[in-house]
Structure 1
Amino acid sequence: MKLLMKLLRVIYVVYAAILFLGIMFLILPPIFLASLLGKQRGGNIIFYFLRFWAHTWFPLVGMPVTREYTCEQDDEPCIFVVNHRSYLDAAIAVKVMRLPFRPLGKVEMSKIPFFGFIYKNSVVAVDRSNAPARAKSVREMMTMLKAGISVLMFPEGTTNDTKEPLRAFHNGAFRMAIEMQIPLKPVLYVDAGDRFPSGGLMGLNPGKCRVVFLPNVPVEGLTLDDINTLKQRVYEIMDAELRKRRQYPTLQATA
C-alpha cells in the first residue's frame, strides 16, 4: 500500500510539474512582448497572463483556491501583508489578488531559466544581502504605490517552517505604510503550507487553498515612532485569525 501511494505521489508531482512548465512556456512569448512596454504598463499586462496561468493550473492539479472576505472590498492601492508558508504563495497571490499589484520577491529566483525572466518582470526583486539593492527595491515599490499599483509583502521575510502561525515580522512593510500613509491589508494563506510544505517537490499534494482577506489597518496620523506598535497590532490580528482556522500546539507570546 505504501509503495502504491508513493507511486501515485510521483505521478501527481510529475503531472503537476508538466502542467506548470507547459502553461508557462505557452505564455512566455506574450510576456516577452509585454516586458518591452516597461515596468509599470508592461508589468500590469504580464499579470493578466500570469492570472490565466494560475486560473488554469490550480484547478487542473486539484487545488481549489477559495477567497473569504471579512471586510468590504475596495479598489484603493494598499500594502498587502501576507503570511508566508510555501513556495506556492506567489502563485496563489497571482490568482486571488486584485490587479494591478506587485509582490516583493527574492532576487535569487530570477536566476531560474525561463521562469526567471517572467519573475524579474513581474515582481520587485530584492537582494537582502545588499543594502543599496534593498534601498532600490524600496524606492521601486514606492513608485508603484504612487502609480496606484498595490504591493504585496511577506513581513516574515522568509517561509515559516515552524509550528507557530507566524514568524516575527520585519519592519519594511510597516515603515513604508507609515511613510506613504497607505493602509495595510492583512491576508491569510491558510492551507498553502499543507499543499506544498518545505522539504522538497515531492511534498506537493492536492487539496483546498483558503485565502482570507482581513479588514484594512489604517495608518493615518502614525509616525515612524509607531512602527513597533503597528507591527505588533497587525501580527496579533493575523495570529488570532490563523488560530481560528487551524490547530496549533500552544499559544505563545508574539514576537
Structure 2
Amino acid sequence: MKLLFKPLRVVYLIYAAIVFLGIMFLILPFIFLASFLGRVKGGNIVFYFLRFWSHTWFPAVGIMVKRIYEWDRKDKTPYLYVVNHCSYLDAALAVQVMRLPFRPLGKIEMQKIPFFGFIYKQSVVPVDRSDAKARSRSVREMIAVLKHGISILIFPEGTTNSTNKILQPFHNGAFRIAIETQTPIQPVLYLDNRKRLPSGGLKLNPGRCRVVYLPPVPVTGLTMEDLPALKQQVFEIMEGELKARI
C-alpha cells in the first residue's frame, strides 16, 4: 500500500508546486505595478493580491482553513500579532487569515529567491539578524508602519519550531515594540500547519488548518521594566491554549 501511495504523493506535490507557481506568476505583474505606489499604499495593495493567491491555492490542494474567534474585534486600530511558528506554511496562511492591512517581519535572506523574492520584498518588513544596524532599521520601519495604522505580525520564536516542544522560548523584539508603541498584542495560534507541512521535509498533506484568535493583551502604561513579565504572560497564554487544543 505504501508503494502505491508514494507515486501519488509525488504527483500531488508536483501539482501543488505548479499551482503555487502558476498563481505567483499570474499576480507578479500586478505586484510590480503596485510597487511604484510606495511602501504603504503599494504594500497594502500587494496584500490583496497575496490574499487572492492564498485563497486560491489552499482549497486547490485540499487544505481547508477554519477560523476560531475567542473575542469579537470591532475596532480598526493596529495590533501586534504574535503567532506560533511551526511550518513553512505559516506565511502563506497568514496572508489569508490576518486582518488587513498588516506586515509580517521576515528574514532578509528570502529576498534572494528569484521572482518570489520580489514579492517578498514588497510585503514584509525585512530584518537582518546578523547586523545590529539593520535590526535597528527594521524596528524603526515597524514603528513607522504601526503609525500608519498597519498591524505587525511577528513569530516571537524567531525561527521555525522543529523541536518536540509545543513552543520555543520567545525573543524580546515583539514585546519591546509593543511597549515602545503602546500597541496591544494579539496572540494567534496555528494549530495544524505542522501536520499539513512538517518542517524540514516535503510532505504536504491535505486536511484542515485551524486558526485561533485569542483575546488581546493590553500594554497601556507598561515600560521596559515590564518586558520580561509581558513576554512570559503571552508565552503562558499561547502555550496553555496550544496544549488544550492540539
TM-score range, shorter chain: over 0.9
Give runs of ≥4 in structure 1 deviating > 6 Å. Answer: none
In the alignment, the residues of structure 2 paired with residue 185 and residue 44 of structure 1 have an alpha-carbon distance, to the nearest angstrom, of 20
- Residue 31 (structure 1) aligns with: 31
Tell me how far 1:86 sits from its aligned partner.
Answer: 0.6
In the alignment, the residues of structure 2 paired with residue 30 and residue 159 of structure 1 have an alpha-carbon distance, to the nearest angstrom, of 30
SS of 2:169's equivalent in the other structure is coil
Alignment of 1:131-170 (within 5 A): 131-170=132-171
In the alignment, the residues of structure 2 paired with residue 175 and residue 63 of structure 1 have an alpha-carbon distance, to the nearest angstrom, of 35
- Residue 2 (structure 2) aligns with: 2
- Residue 83 (structure 1) aligns with: 84
Structure 1, unmatched stretches of 5+, are 247-255
- The percent identity for this pair of structures is 68
In the alignment, the residues of structure 2 paired with residue 174 and residue 133 of structure 1 have an alpha-carbon distance, to the nearest angstrom, of 19
Alignment of 1:35-54 (within 5 A): 35-54=35-54
- Residue 189 (structure 1) aligns with: 190
1:69 equivalenced with 2:81 (yes/no): no
Tell me how far 1:2 sits from its aligned partner.
Answer: 1.2
Tell me how far 1:43 sits from its aligned partner.
Answer: 0.2
**1:200 alignment partner AA:** G
Aligned length: 245
Tell me how far 1:200 sits from its aligned partner.
Answer: 2.1
- Residue 123 (structure 2) aligns with: 122
In the alignment, the residues of structure 2 paired with residue 237 and residue 48 of structure 1 have an alpha-carbon distance, to the nearest angstrom, of 31
In the alignment, the residues of structure 1 paired with residue 207 and residue 239 of structure 2 have an alpha-carbon distance, to the nearest angstrom, of 23
Tell me how far 1:101 sits from its aligned partner.
Answer: 0.2
More displaced 10-residue stretch of structure 1: 68-77 or 49-58: 68-77
SS of 1:219's equivalent in the other structure is coil
SS of 1:211's equivalent in the other structure is strand
- Residue 200 (structure 1) aligns with: 201
In the alignment, the residues of structure 1 paired with residue 218 and residue 132 of structure 2 have an alpha-carbon distance, to the nearest angstrom, of 29
Structure 2, unmatched stretches of 5+, are none
SS of 1:208's equivalent in the other structure is strand
SS of 2:63's equivalent in the other structure is coil
SS of 2:221's equivalent in the other structure is coil
In the alignment, the residues of structure 1 paired with residue 29 and residue 180 of structure 2 have an alpha-carbon distance, to the nearest angstrom, of 38
In the alignment, the residues of structure 2 paired with residue 198 and residue 99 of structure 1 have an alpha-carbon distance, to the nearest angstrom, of 27
**1:185 alignment partner AA:** Q
In the alignment, the residues of structure 1 paired with residue 19 and residue 165 of structure 2 have an alpha-carbon distance, to the nearest angstrom, of 33
Deviations 1:34-54 (A, max 9, x none): 001111000000000000000
- Residue 222 (structure 1) aligns with: 222
In the alignment, the residues of structure 1 paired with residue 8 and residue 73 of structure 2 have an alpha-carbon distance, to the nearest angstrom, of 40
> Aligned-pair RMSD on alpha carbons?
0.7
In the alignment, the residues of structure 2 paired with residue 64 and residue 32 of structure 1 have an alpha-carbon distance, to the nearest angstrom, of 29
**1:117 alignment partner AA:** F
In the alignment, the residues of structure 1 paired with residue 13 and residue 25 of structure 2 have an alpha-carbon distance, to the nearest angstrom, of 18
**1:25 alignment partner AA:** F
